[in-house]
Chains A and B, each alone.
Chain A
Amino acid sequence: MAFDWISFVFYMNITIIWYFLFVNLFYIMLLFTSIPDILTKFKETAIGDIDYFVGTAAMPPVSVLLPAYNEEGDIINTIESLLLSTYKNLQIFVINDGSSDDTMQKLHDNFELARTFPIISQKIKAVAKINNYYTSRKYPNLTIIDKEHTGKSDSLNIGINACSTPLFISIDADTVVEPEAISRLVFSLLSKPHTVAEGGAVYILNGCDYKDGRILRRRMSLLPLVSMQACEYLRAFLFGRTGWKPFNGPLILSGAITLFERQAVIDVGGYLKGSPGEDMEIIVNLHEYMRKHEYPYRIGYNFSAVAWTHVPTNMNELWGQRDRWHRGLIDSLLHHKKIFFNPKYGATGLVSYPFQVLAEFLGPMVEFTGYIAVIVAMYYNIINWHFAVLLFIASWGFATLITLGTTLISLISFNKYDSFKDIFILFLVVIFESFGYRQIMSLCRVIATLRYFLKKLIPF
C-alpha cells in the first residue's frame, strides 16, 4: 500500500497546531500564576528604603563571586557598582580565570592589590591551579584570585571554596548591579522559609549611559538586534520566572545575578565543570537534590533586584551565545533525565521539567517542522491562505501579544525605561520580532541541538 502523503501532512499540521495551543495555554497559566507575586513585588518596590529591613550589620554576610575571563573593558565598572552596594556585610571575590588580556593589570591599577597567602578550603572539588591571591589596600572587602583558565564553573567553585559566608551571589563580570539589588535579594531570601536560591532580574546595558559603576541614564538601544533582546529579557524575567512559583520555582535563574545559600550548593557538589549552561545546571541540581532528600526548599525570584548586563551586538556573537545557552539547556535536561515525569520529584518532575523539554527543547524543532509543514500543506491545498493567516496570528501572533502585555507591565510598574521613545521602540520590536528574528533564533537552536547530538555520537 502506498504511503498517503496528503494524510501525513494533514495530521502533522493538526499535531503542530495542538502543540502550539497547549504550549501557549500553559504560558497563559504562567501569566496568571505570576500575578500574585507581581502584586507583592509592587508593594515591595514601593518600600522606599529596603535597607531599613536588612541594613544592619547583624544581617548575614554575603560574598559576591565574580568570575572574569578577558573582561578588561567592563570589570572595573562591575566592581565599582558592587562597591556602591547599600548592603553592609559584603565581601567581593573576583576570580580571574586566566585572562589573556589586561584584566589583571586593570585590577592592579585600580585597586592597589597586595599579595597574600590563600587559605582556601576544598569543600568543592576545583581543579584550577591558583597563581596568585590578592587583597585590595583600597577596599579591604575586595579579594582577587588569579588562576589558570579552567572555565566559569571551576572559577565559581574556587570562589565558593574561598569564601566562608553562608550566602553568596554569582555575578557576571560585564554587569552593573543596582545599589539596592543585593539588599533586595537578601530581603527576599530571608522573607520566606527554606530559600536556597533567589534570582534577580537582568536588563540590557547596551544603550544606557553609565560611569564609575552607576547607571546615569536608562535607555533602550537603537540597534534592532539589541532592542529585540531587550524585549526577550523583559518577557523572560517577568512572567517567565515568576509564574513558576507554585511549582517550587523556575528551573533557570540568571548567572548574571543570583543569590545562593552556600551550604546547599556545597551539598550538591557545586557547579558542574564543563557544563555549557552552568546557571541552569546548578538550579536543576538543587531542585533534584532537595526533592530527592525530601528537604523543604524554595527557589525564588525577585524582579525588583536588578542588574544591567551587556548583550551581543552582532549576529555572530548572538548566535554563539544562543548556541551555548541551548546546548546548556539540553545538557542539563539530559543530566537530570530521571526527574522526567517522576512523581518523586513533585511539581518539578511532573510540570516544570516536562514543560522545559516540551517547550524549550522541542519547541524550536516543532516550530521549524511547522514552517515546512504549512508550506507543503498549502502546496497540496490541504489548507488555504485564510487558514494559514489565522494560524499565524494564533500561534506566533500569540507570543507577540503576550510579550506586549508583559512588556507593558514591566514598563508601567517598574519604570526601568521611562521615556516615550523607549516605549515606542519596544512596541515596534514586539510587533516585528516575529518577522525574521524569531525564525533565526529558532534555526540557531535547531542547529545547536543537531550539533549537540552529533558531537555525542561522533566525538571530535
Chain B
Amino acid sequence: MIVPFAFLEKFILVEIALVVFIIILAYALKYYFYRKANHDKRISNQIQESIVSAVVSQSYPSEATFPKSWKRLDIILPLFFKLDSTIDSPHWPEMKTTMARTILLPVARKKFDSRRWMNRLYSAQCFELAMEDQDEAIISFLLEDKIPLVHLHAAIAAIRFSSASLINLVINVMAKKRRLSQTVYLKVFDLAAPHSQQFIIDRLNTENDPFIRATCYKILLNFKDKLPAIDTTNDINSNNMELRLAAIRYTAFADKRHAVPLLVSLLSDTRWEVRAASNRLLGELNATQAIDEISHCLKDQVWWVRVNAANTLKSFGEIGIKVLNEQDPSVDLYAYETAMHVLNKPLT
C-alpha cells in the first residue's frame, strides 16, 4: 500500500497533538500577557500617583528619587500623553519637560540604537519632549532609520528643536523620501519655530542639488503667512521638472502681484507638465482675468493640460462654465470633449 494504515493513524495522532499544543500555548500566552499587563498597569498607576502629588506640591521628581523599575519609556510616555488631557495645572508642561530632561533622556540616549524598533521609537519620542545640543547626533541617526514611524518621530523632534543643523538634516532626508513621507514631513514643519524659515532660505542660497532646492520651496510654502520674495527665475527655467514645478508654485503664492503674468506666459511653455501646472495654479489663484488664455489651453494637444484648463474654468463658476458650454465640436473636438467631461455632460 502506497499510503499505509499505520502512517494515516500516526498522521491523525500528530494532528491531535498539534491542536492540543496550540490550545495550551494560547492559554499560556494569554496568562503571560495578562500578568504582564497587570504588572505594567500597577507601575503606571504608581507613577501617575507620584506625578499628580508632585504637581500639587510642585516638588519635581528627580532622577535620584525616581525608582529604577519606573524608568520604563513604554509606560511613562503613554502616561504623559494621558496626563496631558487630565492634568489641568499650569505647572504640568514645565514639570513634564523637566522630567523628560532628567529622567527620560538618559534612558533614551541608551536605547536609540536598540535592535528593537519599538525602543528606537520610544527614544525618538523622548526627544520630542526635550533635547540638548549633544543629542543632535542621535537624532541624525534616528532620521535615517528604516522604520517610517521612527524617522517620522525623529523628524518631529528635529523640527521642534529647530536648530540650523537639524533643519538642514531633515531637508536632506526629506528630499530622498517617497511622497508618503514627504507629505508627513511637510505637515510636521507646521511645528517649526518661525526663525527656522531663515535656515531654509540660507540653504536655498547655497544648495545646487535640484531635488533639495525643490524640497526647500515646498517647505517654505508651509510658512504661509510670510513668504519671502526669492529670485526663482533660474529654477523656473531649470531642466529638472521637480524643481521647475516647485519654484513655479512657490512664486505663484509668494509673489501674487507678478504671478498671473508669469503663469500666463508659462501656458505656452514647451513642457506639458508646466502648462498643466500653470493652468491649475491660475485656478487656485482665481485668476479670472486670464480666462481667454486658459480657454485657449482647452485645445492643447496634451489631455492633462486640457483637463486642468477645463477644471480651472469650472472652478471660476458661471463665467468659466459659460466658456465650457460654448465649446463647439465642429471647431475643436478635443476642446469640446474635455469641456463636456468636466461638466459631466454627455457628448452629442
Contacts and interface: CB of A to CB of B under 8 A. Distances in A.
B26 A413 contact: yes
Contacts of A17: 3
Interface in B131-179: 146-149, 152, 156, 178-179
Contacts, number: 121
B346 A49 contact: no
Given A49-B78, A394-B11, A263 B179 contact: yes
B249 interface: no
Given A46-B37, A49-B78, A404-B19, A387 B27 contact: no
Nearest to B304: A122
B15 A398 contact: yes
B146 A193 contact: yes
A393 interface: yes
Interface stretch (B94-102, B234-242, B307-315): B307-315
Given A58-B190, A193-B147, A117 B22 contact: no
A165 B186 CA distance: 13
Interface stretch (A184-192, A218-226, A285-293): A184-192
Nearest to A38: B29
B188 interface: yes
Interface string B65-107: 0000000000001100110000000000000000000000000
A305 to B, nearest CB: 16
Contacts of B148: 189-193
Given A192-B147, A404-B19, A53 B344 contact: no
Interface in A385-427: 386-387, 390-391, 393-394, 397-398, 401-402, 404-406, 408-409, 412-413
B296 interface: no
A190 B344 contact: no
B78 A48 contact: yes
A56 B191 CA distance: 12
B66 to A, nearest CB: 21
B263 interface: no
B30 interface: yes
B23 A408 contact: yes
B344 A131 contact: yes
A315 interface: no
B8 interface: yes
Contacts of A21: 3, 11
B152 A190 contact: yes
Contacts of A60: 180, 183-184, 187
7 contacts: A42-B33, A54-B149, A59-B152, A122-B303, A390-B12, A408-B22, A413-B30
Given A43-B33, A49-B82, 8 more contacts: A14-B3, A46-B33, A60-B183, A117-B317, A190-B147, A402-B15, A405-B18, A412-B29
Interface of A: 14, 17-18, 21, 28, 31, 39, 42-43, 46-49, 52-61, 117, 119, 122, 129-131, 165-167, 187, 189-193, 261, 263, 386-387, 390-391, 393-394, 397-398, 401-402, 404-406, 408-409, 412-413
